[in-house]
Amino acid sequence: MTNSAIPSGVDSLQNDRYLRMLRGQSVDRTPLWVMRQAGRYLPEYRATRAVAGDFMSLCRNAELACEVTLQPLARYDLDAAILFSDILTIPDAMGLGLSFNAGEGPVFSKPLQSEADIDNLPILDPTAELQYVMNAVSTIRKALNGRVPLIGFSGSPWTLATYMVEGGSSKQFAKVKKLAYQSPVAMQKLMDNLSENVFVYLKAQVEAGAQALMIFDTWGGVLTPAQYQKISLDAMEKIVSRLKRDSVTANIPVTLFSKGVGEKQLVQLADLGNEAIGVDWTHALSDVRAATGDKVVLQGNLDPCVLYAQPEAIRQSVKAVLKSYGEHKATGGHIFNLGHGIHPDIPPEKVSVLVEAVKEFSSQYVC
Ligand code: 1CP
């Protein structure tokens, strides 16, 4: 399925606030979406997941993946939808044996254990092993019918590598960092393979109907500044430059999100030809804005734990994030989001408080 297969005109965007911000056009208020907006904090998500059986079956079923993508939009006035899928679809398609055990994170039965394992990694055909993701994208795009734009995504090569080498979630990242220090050549081969795979995967998502892209570098912050540059940033730079040189993806806005990195690293991340960067809650948007000089749009950065607070405190925190970014200029800009994904035990009503507060307080800042 390609973009041309989607009836033109049928879905000219009714709400294009998110894309306008990324293109440097004027908006009436700050655009807003919520990382992990479809997920376990919503009872209707838990119900659909139970119908699917398990998490990967939900991702593999285009109709159900579409249903959960649209669930948060039925509750809240959000300005973008994000494909319901996971970053671990790529290593799963490579045959690493992904499973999600109840109450635990992801587990790979065949993690990368040797240089030979890395040498044998394929370049995937996204219209073969990952066709189910593209089916979900085109199904969601049709169902949205132009209501809001659809964001496609991937993990960054480094963040994917952490799961592939550790065999799942990690606290210390000792195995993957050991690989980086002991076998830098093998590490580079892994980054090169994943850069290629992420590029073709994101391009295929655009061909299937994704209107913006985001790369999640969730574990960029566990690297030293030098390694961050050499390993994670370098791989993301290759992907962005491929996307910007390809006629299919050249005009698709790209957001890069490295969680847990310092301000210098955010400045580097803003300099790869991408339109936006994600900012976690450990930074003040005012500092990041001053450091990046309105070069890119900043997305973020309310602490997800603020949603545990009482409604009035949430409203004040939303105000503080908007004020920290400050008044928009012709370049740069702000897309409101959390600084990381919403926690599964947040009452859904708290998200309404957040959304209404962004709508109420943000129009004074935009241009
Ligand atoms: O139902 C369940 O129990 C599964 C929980 C869940 C969900 C809802 C997982 C497993 N993935 C997802 C969906 C998901 N994952 C989305 C959907 C779109 C949305 O935002 O609404 C996205 C964008 C992701 C991306 C993702 N998966 C990231 C990057 C973003 C981030 O949150 O940092 C990462 C690191 C993953 C790995 C992953 N998948 C699932 C879990 C529980 C994890 C994290 C494990 C860990 O902490 O290491």
In a domain, 8, yes or no: no
Q: Which of 104, 98, 94 shows the shortest CA–CA distance to 57?
A: 98
| Banded model confidence at residue 190, pLDDT cuts 50, 70, 90 | very high
What CA dihedral angle connects 69, 73, 78 and 82, to 10 degrees? 10
Cα distances (angstroms) measured from residue 330 to each of 21, 179, 347: 10, 44, 37
Q: How many domains does the chain have?
A: 1
Q: What is the CATH number of the domain that holds 111?
A: 3.20.20.210
Nearest residue to 367 (alpha-carbon basis) of 318, 320, 334: 334
11 domain-assigned: no
Q: Considering only CA atoms, which residue is closest to atom 30 of ligand 1?
A: 216
Confidence class for position 267, pLDDT limits 50, 70, 90: very high
- Ligand 1 pocket (Cβ < 6 Å) reads 35-40, 49, 55, 82, 84, 86-88, 105-106, 153, 169, 216, 218, 341
Does some domain include residue 128?
Answer: yes
Categorize the per-residue pLDDT at 102 as very low, low, confident or very high, splitting at 50, 70 and 90.
confident
Cβ burial of 183 (10 Å; 0-12, 13-18, 19+) is middle
Distance CA 236, CA 202 (A): 12
277-329 pLDDT, tens digit per residue, is 999 999 999 999 999 999 999 999 999 999 999 999 999 999 999 999 999 99
The answer as to whether 324 is a domain residue is: yes
Catalytic residue check, 23: no
The DSSP code for 342 is P
Residue 294 is assigned to a structural domain of this protein: yes
Domain extent, residue 270, equals 17-365
- Single out the residue of 252, 243, 233 nearest to residue 200, CA to CA: 243
pLDDT tens digits for range 201-250: 999 999 999 999 999 999 999 999 999 999 999 999 999 999 999 999 99
In a domain, 218, yes or no: yes
3-state helix, strand and coil shares in percent for the chain, rounded to the nearest 5: 50, 10, 40
Distance 58 CA to ligand 1 centre (A): 13
350 assigned to some structural domain = yes
Q: How confident is the model at residue 10 (pLDDT cuts 50, 70, 90)?
A: low
Residue 266 has pLDDT above 90, yes or no: yes
Q: Taking the model in full, what pTM does it have? A: 0.96
Q: What is the pLDDT of residue 4?
A: 47
In a domain, 134, yes or no: yes
pLDDT at 319: 98
Quote the pLDDT of residue 103. 74
